[in-house]
Amino acid sequence: MKRIFGAVVTGAMLAANAVFAADITIGLSVDQLFESRVAVNNGIKAGAADRGYDVVEVVADGDAQQQNAQIQSLIAQGVDAILVCAVDQNTIERALLAAKKANIPVVAYDRDLPDSRVVQSFVGPDSLVDGRLAGEYTAKALEGVEGPITIVELIGALNDQNGIDRSKGFREGIAKLQNVNLIEVPTDWDSARALSGTQNAFQANPKVSAVFAATDTHIPAVETVLSDLGKLAPMGSDDHVVITGVNGSNDGYQAVLSGTADAFVVMGTDATGRKAVELVSQILAGEKVERLNYVGGNLYTASDAEANKAMIWGAPK
Amino acid sequence: MTRTIRDLMSRQKWVAIALATIVLAGVLSVVSPVFLTVSNFQAILVQSSVTAIMAIGMTYIILTAGIDISVGAILFVTSALFAQLYMDTESYLLAFTVTIVCATLLGALNGLLIVKFKISPLITTLATYSIYRGAAIHLTGAQNIPVPREMGFLGNGRILGLPVPILILLIVTIIGIYILNRTRLGVYTRAIGNSERSATETNLPVNKVLIAVYGFSGLVTGIAALILLARVGGLQSGIGIGIEFTVIAAVILGGTKLSGGSGTVVGSVIGAVFLVLIDNGLNLLNASPYIYDIVRGSVLLAAVAIDRYSAVRQKASLEAQRAERMGFGGPHRAAQ
């Protein structure tokens, strides 16, 4: 009797879930499109498809006011939940409050909104750990180097938490190195600025031991500078400059395979996207979720990058 | 001596930015021992090349009292076009040709829309900025596309010991100076900027000139896109964002009046070098990354303020001369 009852309940739950799932629409509010963001969004769409959810995607092109209006529009369309990667924390809160008023749960992804009164959960990269992994690798590679060690750090956007945390993590990672001269180059995630900044840094400091790129998409620009200066020495040679980065793009993958870069930290973009949908699902089912959910990256070097190609989101498929 | 410089500065606006560049270079050579090296100078010129080439095109546009906010988007869309075409066909000739032709057409389309619909250049190019950037994102799916290594020659190769980007900049500068000073197009460009109404009333081909000027800006932007792509190593969706403001800043710093009619190609090129010099100096001094934007913004503000101040003084002096010729004691005395 118990078994029959259990089977009936399970069947009813599955049927209800199917009916429930078919009606669920997630509003996906994206700050702007670039390679890694598209990779996370693809994870969200794949996770949603697995659960039978619909996704309505809007892209703000880096315009905070536009994102505000787009969220209002998602609310008007009657979406069941909103996944948001915000352009600007302060500007977006008004629209998110409207979502709360309409009983629409909001989950932030990739970029947290720590002061928001609306966001119920966040999922994104553990940028502090990602940066630290690159830093620790650099520290190990430069172990035993005598005299002052000059390291060029290509910083992401100065107002972007992921960029700030990667920088902080990297510094923690290299903390055990003595006598470090850290040259900060602001890039605003722009490779053209990374290129000129790196060039200037190498002009001012002829003996640079390592470069850390907050995003590995800057590594080809670093390669151009080293090539310009005749300093492009492969791994293992005395004049080699240790290069690391965070992201997991094809640029980083190719640079590591070719021996230009030593290592790169690959973000779990698919896992982040799928986790975001899982959080939405749990919230809609009335379950309690963690406020902060981090997806740590993995560090790969020339010795294991190719073998783990499937884990590297930017590697050619 | 001082008077000679002052006279020169009032006649040739680019002299001011040239002097400012020399002064800044002098200061930097004192505070940083590596500044005065050939390789650093080459690095500065190479870094300036993309902005400077685009600034040459923008000079023509601003000379007509116009503006083009979409140049960054043209830079991006043509880079995307090149990267995608090369990836699909592996033909340099096809990819280069299509890229340059498309860049010119996109620029010319801006001009066509401006003259056809009589909408302000700012609004028109703001709209096309969005269209062009959106088209590029659609074309590439916001993916990064690497360019072949041999293309790096355009970005860091050398001919006769000179970096290729510097050579291209030199050629574009010479062509830019020649067209502006030795051809009818140049004369008409200034004439439209001085007074579009007078230019129309004297039957100058205003519409054709405007389309040509925006097309020329597109063309040089296409050339700049190829250099940038070669130097950065591939297409990235952030390419060109905000570069329009650096380009416009270089032109204004170079002495071209935003109201049109007066300006030089040389000034804009020096303006672009000056902006790179600021970054170079801040890098050499290992300045805090937080002050870069403050310094850049302050320099631009100072340039615009000086330009405005000299324009007001010039206008006052002209009015005073006119009043004197007409027998008044000057505008202020006349008011009493």
Q: Model confidence over A160-181: pLDDT tens digits?
A: 889 999 999 999 999 999 999 9
pLDDT for residue B317: 78
- Contact yes or no for B156 and A224 at CB 8 A: yes
Q: Do B264 and B312 fall within a single domain?
A: no
Mark whether B113 and B176 lie in a shared domain.
Answer: yes
pLDDT the model gives residue B81 = 95
A33/B283 Cβ within 8 A = no
How far CA B259 is from CA of B51, B72, B90, B206, B214, in Å, comes to 21, 22, 45, 17, 17
Domain contains B100: yes
Residues B325 and B247 in one domain: no
Q: How confident is the model at residue A7 (pLDDT cuts 50, 70, 90)?
A: low
Greatest mean pLDDT among A12-26, A90-104, B142-156 lies in A90-104
pLDDT of A88 > 90? The answer is: no
What integer pLDDT is reported at residue B333 of this predicted model?
39
* Domain-located, residue B322: yes
pLDDT at residue B6 is higher than 70: no
Domains of chain A: 2-119 (3.40.50.2300), 127-266 (3.40.50.2300)
- Residue contact A217–B236, C-beta within 8 A: yes
Mean pLDDT of chain A: 90
pLDDT at B214: 98
Residue B47 and residue A224: Cβ atoms within 8 Å? Answer: no
> Same domain for B216 and B109?
yes
- Beta partners for residue A27, in sequence order: A56, A82
Instruction: Note whether B265 and B126 are same-domain residues.
Output: yes
Mean pLDDT of all residues belonging to chain B: 88
Per-residue pLDDT at B321 exceeds 50: yes
- Report yes or no: A30 at the B interface, CB cutoff 8 Å: no
Q: Identify whether the C-beta of residue B57 lies closer than 8 Å to the C-beta of residue B216.
A: yes
Would you state the pLDDT for residue A221? 92
Nearest to A166 by CA among A205, A215, A118: A215
DSSP code for B285: T
* Claim to verify: residue B162 and residue B307 sit in the same structural domain: no
* Interface probe with B: pick from A203, A205, A264, most Cβ of B within 10 Å: A203
The per-residue pLDDT for B330 is 45
Q: Looking at residue A203, what is its pLDDT? A: 87
Residue B280 lies in a domain: no
> Looking at the domain assignment, is residue B170 inside a domain?
yes
Chosen for mutation from B154, B283, B284, B286 (greatest number of chain A CBs closer than 10 Å) is: B283
Of A61, A185, A251, the CB nearest to B144: A251
A314 close contact with B: CB closer than 8 A: yes
Residue A17 has pLDDT above 80, yes or no: no
The predicted structure's pLDDT at residue B8: 62
Q: If DSSP codes are grouped into helix, strand and coil, which group holds residue B67? A: coil
Band (B26; pLDDT cuts 50, 70, 90):
confident
pLDDT band for B45, please (50, 70, 90 cuts).
very high
**CB-based contact B280 A221, cutoff 8 Å:** no
Residue scoring higher pLDDT (B168 or B6): B168
The strand order across the sheet containing A263-266 reads A180-186, A149-155, A210-213, A242-247, A263-266, A298-301
Q: Where are the beta strands (DSSP E) in chain B?
A: 145-146, 158-159, 162-163, 234-235
- pLDDT tier for residue B116 given thresholds of 50, 70 and 90: very high
- The number of domains in chain B is 2
The SS3 of residue A207 is coil
Of A3-7, A31-35, B67-71, B282-286, the poorest mean pLDDT is in A3-7
> Which residue segment(s) compose the domain that B123 sits in?
48-269
The closest alpha carbon to B270, from B335, B173, B191, belongs to B173
CB contact under 8 A, A228 and B43: yes
- Mutate: best of B87, B232, B294, B296, partner A, most A CBs <10 A: B232
Token code pair at residue A103: 């009983």
> B70 and B202 share a domain?
yes
Residues B113 and B249 in one domain: yes
Nearest CB neighbour to B155, from listed A33, A62, A224 = A224
CA distance A291 to chain B (A): 30
CB nearest B39 (choices: A33, A189, A203): A203
User: What is d(CA A138, CA B44) in angstroms, rounded to the nearest whole number?
Assistant: 29
- Taking a contact as any Cβ pair under 8 Å apart, which residues of chain A between 83 and 112 contact chain B? none
Average of per-residue pLDDT across A235-254? 92
User: How much is the average pLDDT of A61-84?
Assistant: 93
Q: Which of A61, A185, A314 lies closest to B283 in CB terms?
A: A185
User: pLDDT tens digits for A248-280?
Assistant: 999 999 999 999 999 999 999 999 999 999 999
**Residue B42 token pair:** 């080459």
Residue in B46, B152, B289 closest to A184 by CB: B289
Distance from CA of B179 to the nearest CA of A (A): 29
- Chain B contact for A223, CB < 8 A? yes
Residue B1 has pLDDT above 60, yes or no: no
Asked whether residue B12 is assigned to any structural domain, the reply reads: no
Q: Assess contact for B50 and B228: CB atoms under 8 A.
A: yes
Rounded to 5 degrees, φ, ψ at A232 are -80, 90
pLDDT value at position A23? 85
Residue B332 has pLDDT above 60, yes or no: no
Same-domain check for residues B185 and B231: yes
Residue B264 lies in a domain: yes
Q: Which residues of B touch A199 (CB under 8 A)?
A: 43, 46-47
- B230 pLDDT band (50/70/90 cuts)? very high
B258 & B301 share domain: no
pLDDT of B12 higher than 80: no
Query: For the segment A192-208, what is each residue's pLDDT rounded down to a tens digit?
Result: 899 999 998 998 888 99
Cα distances from B111 to residues B130, B181, B217, in angstroms, run 16, 21, 10
ipTM value: 0.75
From chain B, the residues in CB contact with A254 under 8 A are 146
Chain B residues whose CB is inside 8 A of the A189 CB are 238
Asked whether residue B117 is assigned to any structural domain, the reply reads yes
Q: Are residues B136 and B234 located together in one domain of the fold?
A: yes
Which residue is closest to B38 within chain A, CA to CA? A203
Is the pLDDT confidence value at B307 over 80?
no
* Closest Cα in chain B, distance from residue A186 (Å): 5
Q: Are B140 and B210 found together in one domain?
A: yes
> Is B35 within a domain?
no
- In this predicted model, what pLDDT tens digit does every residue of B136-192 receive, in sequence order? 999 888 888 888 878 888 988 899 989 999 999 999 999 999 999 999 999 999 999
